[in-house]
């Protein structure tokens, strides 16, 4: 890639005032570095990944209100987690976390266990039990 071809597309990096540093060749064929504001193929991929998470979060919310799933699934998706990541944050086995996604199991959870989840999601137990 030539230095003058370094992409300067729009991206979410702007908001945080971050620029990508990339290696590119100058007119004499020597390697140098340049800053890039973003590149469209990457931005689209990232946007799609975010949209996927939003869809999964919305679906988890709908399942909660249909009593098909506990609120833990919703908060897990909201925090971009999956079961292995959530299990490692709360310090429980994965199969236990999976069980806690069932509304019937969730209702019987002890305050202590609920508090673990609430701490990970940085909310109160009341907030954990409900979704606004």
Partner 1 sequence: MKIDFSHKQAAHCENGVVSNLMRHNGFDVSEPMVFGIGSGLLFSYLPFIKVNYAPVFTYRVLPGLVFNRFAKRVGVKVKREKFRNPKNAKARLDENLKNNNPVGLQVGVYNLIYFPDEYRFHFNAHNMVVYGKKEDRYLISDPVMERVTSLTEKQLEKVRFAKGAFAPKGHMYYPTAFPEKLELESAIVKGIRQTCRDMTAPVPIVGVKAMRWVAKNIRKWPKKIGQKKTNHYLGQIVRMQEEIGTGGGGFRYIYAAFLQEAAVVINNEKLKEFSKEMTEIGDLWRDFALDASRIYKNRSGESDGYNKIADQLVIIANREENFFKRLKKVV
Which residues contribute to the site for partner 1 (CB under 8 A)?
Answer: 1, 12-13, 15-25, 29-31, 33, 35, 39-42, 44-46, 48-52, 79-82, 84-85, 88-89
Q: How far is the CB of 95 from partner 1 (least distance, A)?
A: 17
Biggest CA–CA distance in the chain, Å, is 70
Q: Provide the minimum distance between the beta carbon of 61 and partner 1 in the complex, in angstroms, as a whole number.
A: 18
Q: Which is nearer to partner 1, 29 or 111 (CB)?
A: 29
Residue with structure tokens 């305050």? 111
- Asked whether the beta carbons of 32 and 25 are under 8 A apart, the reply is yes
Closer Cβ to partner 1, 50 or 58, answer by number: 50
Q: CA geometry: angle at 60 spanning 15 and 70, to 5°? A: 125
Considering the complex, what minimum distance in angstroms separates the CB of residue 31 from partner 1? 4
Q: Which residues sit opposite 25 in a β-bridge?
A: 2, 31
Beta carbon nearer to partner 1, 23 or 65: 23
- Alpha-carbon distance of 26 to 32, in angstroms, equals 7
């Amino acid at each position: 890639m030539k230095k003058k071809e370094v992409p300067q597309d729009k991206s979410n990096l702007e908001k945080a005032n971050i620029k990508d540093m990339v290696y590119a060749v100058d007119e004499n064929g020597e390697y140098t570095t340049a800053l890039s504001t973003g590149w469209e193929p990457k931005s689209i991929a990232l946007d799609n990944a975010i949209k996927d998470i939003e869809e999964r979060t919305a679906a988890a919310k709908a399942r909660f209100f249909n009593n098909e799933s506990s609120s833990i699934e919703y908060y897990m998706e909201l925090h971009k987690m999956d079961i292995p990541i959530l299990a490692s944050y709360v310090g429980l086995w994965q199969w236990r976390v999976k069980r806690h996604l069932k509304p019937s199991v969730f209702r019987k959870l002890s305050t202590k266990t609920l508090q673990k989840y609430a701490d990970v999601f940085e909310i109160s137990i009341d907030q954990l039990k409900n979704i606004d």
